[in-house]
Amino acid sequence: GAAQIYIEMLKQEARKLKRMLAITHHEALNIVAQTADWNNWKAIKIEDEMHARNLINHLNWLKQSAREHNPDNPLLWEYKRWQMRQTH
């Protein structure tokens, strides 16, 4: 279902981030969760199918926004946005 798709989308992003930053898988999962507006990876709670679909839409919107800001490396832009939020 949509919940598994959402989780897999986040895991794919984490794998890319792990390679890009040479960090642990656990760190990458937490950062990706936080860029998707969760406190951390373990905080992800999907209520039902409709909630999962809304989460996928939100994640796709975040990715599109990142592509508009940095077409060459949208993941880097998302990471920098996350970093800025950590300092404020």
d(CA 42, CA 64): 25
List pLDDT tens digits, range 64-83.
Answer: 999 999 999 999 998 998 99
The C-alpha angle with vertex 44 and arms to 52 and 80, in degrees rounded to 5, equals: 100
List pLDDT tens digits, range 19-49.
Answer: 999 999 999 999 999 999 899 999 999 999 9
Query: Residue 55 CB: number of other CB atoms within 10 A?
Result: 23
d(CA 2, CA 22): 30
